[in-house]
Structure 1
Amino acid sequence: MEIKSEVYVRSVGSYLPPRASTQQAVDKGLYEADDLKLMGLTGTLVAGDTSPAHMATAAAATALERAGLGSAELDSLIHSSVFQPGPDGWSLPGYTLRELGGGKAGVIELRTGCSGMLSAMELAVGQLTGAQGHTSVLLTAADHMGPWLERWPSDVYLPGDAGSAMVLGTAGGFARIRAVNSGTVPRLEQMNRGDEPLHPPAPRGLVDLRARHASVTRHMEEREAAHLMAALNTELAERSIAEAGIKTADISRVVYHNMAGFIVEFFLSQVGLPMERSSWEFGRTVGHLGCSDQAVALEHLLLNGDLTPGDHVMLCGASAGFATVCVVLEILDVPSWPAPAPVPAAVVG
């Protein structure tokens, strides 16, 4: 979808809890040294007793302050998370709006998986360009993986906790949204379901994603599943690049999920982009942050001086389904936001 109207990212914000060192986890026997060498992941963020609601609200407050907006000026608030963020039947975006000061914005909660923030961007573009006539939309995301996933599995990512937020609008911003595209590979839907019954759902507890994935690889090679994912990602990336009116070589930075280096490199290679243009050197230090990978990395690139006006940034993400979203941004300005406080170290154990 080529974005012909002027739709902008006005601000981005995050909440990053303490960082746990992978090497410390190896020293304590929680993580395999061979996996550290193979995956190249050096740390992950651990929220402890901090709730997703707190992380989302803190990130949103930063994003609103940077955008110069109050909550009463918002037309819509869209929240994304991978897992249930609090009590059943409860509205986290409604809570966030109240905590930010109130207002009459409509609230929506997405549970589309790890590409949720990008799906929210696609939805918000429709609100900002369509019949609703919105002018300001706040996107939030937050995930606390502790109740759901083992922190130190031998896998291609380390679960991390964080909150993030973006303000999109029609009245200018530091980046213009040039294209958004999404699609799904239904053949891979079972990867995040496994052989579990659809109803009644299994009791809450730790989710064994490796067992769920194995239910698919019993019927197709793991390599085939990876190539199906990569093919869709490549198709959407190439379409988004073309709709943005640029060439692949014009992409300055690509933000994918914070996963093992060889996974990120594989996906980038299918598009024809080198690993050096990825955000992996940062992502490997914070873990896979659920729906927040892309927003947190974008904020880091801005604050770290890695982007300049005229750059194009591609944000890509994938979710259960198997759903994929790609977004191309054109950087118009580098905001002079104060640098956030350094992320403290967490005690591993």
Structure 2
Amino acid sequence: MAGPIVDLGISSFGFAYGEDRDVASAAGDYVANPERVINWGFRTFHRAADDVQATDLAAEAARQALDRAGVSADALDLVVLATSDMPEYSYWDGAAALARELKIERTQTLLLNEGCGGGVHGLYYVASTLATQPDADTALLVAVNRVSEFHRNRMNTINAVLSDAAVAVVLRRDHPANRWLATEQFTEPEHCDLLRVDFGGAVNPVPPQGWSTVDAPGGHERIREQFGGDPRTLRRFLETRYERLLEVIDGACGRAGLGRDDITHLIYLNDSATSIAAVAEPLGIPLARTNADLAPDHGHMGAADQLVSLGVRLENGDVAPGDVVALCGISTGRWCATLIRA
């Protein structure tokens, strides 16, 4: 049977951002060709202070969401943390660290390290838990991105400016608004190494002497190497990216018993307006009903993009009760989509 496996909805949102920085003014600190970055169309990005880490941002967003929902942390049945950048420490559980910040114990926690789609399919893991545990009623999902500038150049990894931010949502069983309908995800592992950092792990624990993100090859150069300088193969890879997004959205629709025509809003990664339009147009969704106007003022916040944009749209009254919002994203090799009915 098509339809939700469990009735739950988002009852509140919480947000935490690094300090606002102007892209045009800061680009020269990160790359030798700042015009290339400026031409992507991003105006502002968020950069956390050096002493503010992912756990700090996640805890700030979580406390705000809990306060707005009128829920105490010790009432939570599940805490899920989705991260999309380098963890603060090795051999360390960021979800447990978040629970400690919230001063709770003996609560289920789950850590997702699945890249930029973690906030989208994290909703599925919450739904799965509530479906299999009838005594669980309330969950907290936090998606956070805090760029480690030692490991990544925030303006030379992908064609977007990477930002530091967190978003938290409180989900409650039988909540009547912002209801989770379905999630679809799949993995195509061929290019799973495309954006990896080659050191810091067990294979290469230490970077080469003199290595720096300021002059290290960027993500776009790695993509060219991956495809051997063959523009036709690269073009086909980029086209497939959008085809797979439509496929995963259709899969979510099938699980929810809906069709493309039922979707009223689309929220993708904080990418360029051209990229967002490439997903929205085949669905018949105008750019005004996407996150295209929000992305330039936030930059790419990793796993936090989609839930931040959904929360802002709801708070601004841009999404009407009953509207169906498709949240979708790509991690390296992973496609995902979640449908929410406002």
- Interval containing the TM-score (normalised by the shorter chain): 0.7 to 0.9
TM-score by length of structure 2 reads: 0.87
Q: In 2, Cα distance between the equivalents of 1:302 and 1:313?
A: 11
In structure 2, the partner of 1:324 is 335
What's the counterpart of residue 127 of structure 1?
129
TM normalised by structure 1 equals 0.85
Question: Would you say 1:189 and 2:195 are equivalent positions?
Answer: no
Structure 1 residue 34 displacement after superposition: 5.0
Q: Report what 1:336 is aligned to.
A: none
Spell out structure 1 runs of 4+ moving beyond 4 A.
26-31, 194-199, 204-208
What is the CA RMSD across the aligned residues, in angstroms? Answer: 2.6
Residue among 227, 230, 248 paired with 1:217: 227
Offset of 1:133 from its aligned partner? 4.5
- Aligned residue in 2 for 1:287: 299
- Deviation, 1:26, is 5.7
Task: Output the amino acid matched with 1:291.
Answer: A
- Which residue is equivalent to 1:337? none
Q: Find the counterpart in structure 1 of residue 182 from structure 2.
A: 179
**CA 1:215–1:195: 2 relative to 1, 3 Å:** farther
Q: Distance in 2 between matches of 1:190 and 1:240?
A: 27
Report deviation, 1:271.
Answer: 3.6
Greater alpha carbon shift after TM alignment, 299-308 vs 24-33: 24-33
Q: Separation in 2 of the partners of 1:210 and 1:183?
A: 24
Shift of 1:135: 1.4
User: Equivalent residue for 2:86?
Assistant: 84
Partner of 1:305: 317
- Where structure 2 has 5 or more consecutive residues not aligned to the other structure, the ranges are none
Local SS of the residue matching 2:337: strand
% identity of equivalent residues: 22
8 Å Cα contact 2:28-2:34 kept in structure 1: no
Deviation at 1:170, TM superposition (A): 0.8
> What one-letter code is carried by the residue in structure 2 that aligns with 1:142?
V
Q: 1:34 to 1:111 in 2, by over 3 A?
A: closer
Which residue of the other structure, out of 240, 248, 256, is the alignment partner of 1:228? 240
Q: How far 1:313 moved relative to its partner?
A: 0.9
1:74 aligns with 2:76: yes
Number of positions where the alignment pairs a residue of Structure 1 with one of Structure 2: 329
Instruction: Supply the distance in 1 between the matched residues of 2:186 and 2:303 (Cα, whole angstroms).
Output: 17
Which secondary structure state, in structure 2, belongs to the residue aligned with residue 139 of structure 1? strand
- Determine if contact 1:194/1:215 at 8 Å carries over to the other structure: no
Measured in 1, the distance between the counterparts of 2:165 and 2:267 equals 16
**Gaps spanning 5+ residues in structure 1: where?**
332-349
The Cα of 1:165 is off from its aligned counterpart by 1.0
How big is the shift at 1:131?
4.4
Letter in 2 for 1:293: D
Structure 2: distance between partners of 1:180 and 1:29: 37
Query: CA distance change for structure 1 residues 32 and 107 in 2, over 3 Å: closer, same or farther?
Result: same
Distance 1:34 1:101, change over 3 A: closer
The answer to whether the aligner puts 1:145 opposite 2:147 as a matched pair is: yes
Q: Which moved more, 1:193-202 or 1:107-116?
A: 193-202
Distance 1:14 1:211 in 2: 34
Q: Is the 8 A contact 1:74 1:103 kept in 2?
A: no
Deviations 1:165-188 (A, max 9, x none): 112221315311111110112222
Is 2:44 aligned against 1:43? yes
Is 1:11 aligned to 2:16, yes or no? no
Kept after mapping to 2: 8 A contact 1:72/1:104: no
Shift of 1:32: 2.8
Q: Which residue matches 1:340?
A: none
Contact 1:184 1:232 in 2 (8 A): no
Q: Is the 8 A contact 1:127 1:133 kept in 2?
A: no
Q: SS of 1:218's equivalent?
A: coil
How far did 1:153 drift? Answer: 3.0
1:92 aligned partner, one-letter code: G
Q: Give the alignment partner of residue 64 of structure 2, picking from 62, 65, 71.
A: 62
Give the CA deviation at 1:316: 0.5
Shift of 1:29: 9.1
1:255 aligns with 2:267: yes
Partner residue in 1 for 2:26: 25
Relative to 1, partners in 2 of residues 1:144 and 1:231: Cα closer, same or farther, differing over 3 Å? same
